[in-house]
């Protein structure tokens, strides 16, 4: 009888372990799916912004009426998911056009990091979130220098991630290739340097790791996009009994 009891107990433990393992595998798949969806969400915004900023450069050079330029910029901004405005900054760093406000406020943006980066490197740049000087609202600058002018899509941070609203224990994060946070949802998420390093320092373009993070066990998946300089990350909670790859505590 004792042997039978031991066998039954072992079978129950094995079944429970298998169930936990199956649950972890499913959550890992769901986490990777969420990371890919966040990547696609960012791609949609960035590709649309890139085209809109190119078009804005053509319009600014072709149109001589400032009011008409403003209206056309406002129309272009409305077509970028999550964009609040398009700004045009002149060669001296002064705001020349603002699709949100006409006429544009005479402010100097030459000290902004996104403006300085655009002067130093070509192509589309996604910089860290800043607070607008006139709006006092946070935004992610999507920036492109074309000729002597710098064009900026003023974008909501949450436009660059999938918010996973159906999951109460999930985060979505957009990092640059250095591991700096560009956007995150929910905004109160505590994203440690160790968590960011799992994605930003990985040699693989995509991957999933199970981590002990504080008192929780989480599944972390990432998708790296070299073209746009972004890493899309998704985080989902796991049962406490799940097997852990990394302990960052």
Mind listing the pLDDT tens digit for each residue in 82-136?
A: 999 999 999 999 999 999 999 999 899 999 999 999 999 889 999 999 999 888 8
Does 106 reside within a domain? yes
- pLDDT, position 214: 81
- pLDDT, position 245: 63
Helix axes 2-62, 66-78, angle to 10 degrees: 160
Classified as helix, coil or strand, 27 is helix
Does 131 reside within a domain? yes
Does 218 reside within a domain? no
- pLDDT, position 12: 42
Give the mean model confidence (pLDDT) for residues 69-82: 97
Classified as helix, coil or strand, 123 is coil
Does 152 reside within a domain? yes
- pLDDT, position 26: 77
Expressed as residue numbers, the domain containing 76 is 45-156
Mean residue pLDDT across the chain = 87
CATH number for 52: 3.30.450.20
Taking the C-alpha atoms of residue 78 and residue 85, their distance in angstroms, rounded to an integer, is 8
- pLDDT, position 11: 40
The model's pLDDT over 168-207, given as tens digits with 9 standing for 90+, comes to 889 999 999 999 999 999 988 889 999 999 999 998 999 9
Does 170 reside within a domain? no
Is the per-residue pLDDT at 57 higher than 80?
Answer: yes
- pLDDT, position 76: 98
Does 246 reside within a domain? no
- pLDDT, position 23: 56
The model's pLDDT over 202-214, given as tens digits with 9 standing for 90+, comes to 989 999 998 888 8
Please give the angle made by the CA atoms of 199, 205 and 206, to the nearest 5 degrees: 70
149: left (phi over 0), alpha (psi -120 to 50) or beta: beta
Give the mean model confidence (pLDDT) for residues 143-153: 97
- pLDDT, position 40: 94
Is the per-residue pLDDT at 147 higher than 50?
Answer: yes
Provide the domain count of the chain.
Answer: 1
The model's pLDDT over 41-51, given as tens digits with 9 standing for 90+, comes to 999 999 999 99
Long-range Cβ contacts of 189-198 (<8 Å, 24+ apart): 189/235, 192/248, 194/248, 195/220, 195/235, 195/248, 198/222, 198/246, 198/248
The model's pLDDT over 7-28, given as tens digits with 9 standing for 90+, comes to 344 444 444 444 445 556 777 7
- pLDDT, position 139: 95
Does 182 reside within a domain? no
């Amino acid at each position: 009888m004792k042997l039978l009891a031991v066998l039954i107990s072992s079978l129950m433990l094995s079944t429970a372990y298998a169930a936990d393992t199956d649950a972890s595998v499913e959550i890992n798949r769901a986490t990777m799916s969420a990371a890919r969806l966040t990547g696609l969400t960012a791609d949609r915004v960035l590709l649309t912004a890139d085209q809109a900023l190119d078009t804005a450069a053509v319009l600014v050079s072709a149109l001589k009426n400032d009011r008409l330029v403003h209206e056309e910029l406002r129309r272009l901004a409305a077509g970028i998911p999550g964009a609040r405005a398009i700004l045009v900054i002149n060669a001296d760093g002064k705001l020349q056009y603002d699709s949100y406000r006409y006429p544009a406020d005479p402010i100097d943006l030459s000290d902004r990091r996104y403006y300085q980066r655009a002067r130093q490197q070509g192509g589309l740049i996604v910089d860290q979130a800043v607070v607008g000087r006139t709006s006092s609202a946070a935004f992610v600058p999507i920036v492109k220098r074309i000729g002597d002018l710098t064009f900026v899509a003023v974008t909501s941070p949450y436009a660059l991630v999938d918010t996973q609203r159906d999951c109460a224990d999930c985060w979505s994060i957009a990092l640059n290739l250095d591991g700096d946070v560009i956007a995150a949802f929910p905004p109160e998420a505590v994203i440690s340097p160790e968590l960011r390093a799992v994605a930003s320092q990985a040699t693989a373009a995509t991957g999933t790791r199970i981590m002990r993070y504080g008192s929780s066990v989480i599944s972390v998946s990432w998708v790296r996009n070299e073209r746009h300089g972004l890493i899309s990350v998704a985080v989902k909670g796991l049962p406490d009994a799940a097997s852990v790859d990394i302990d960052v505590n």
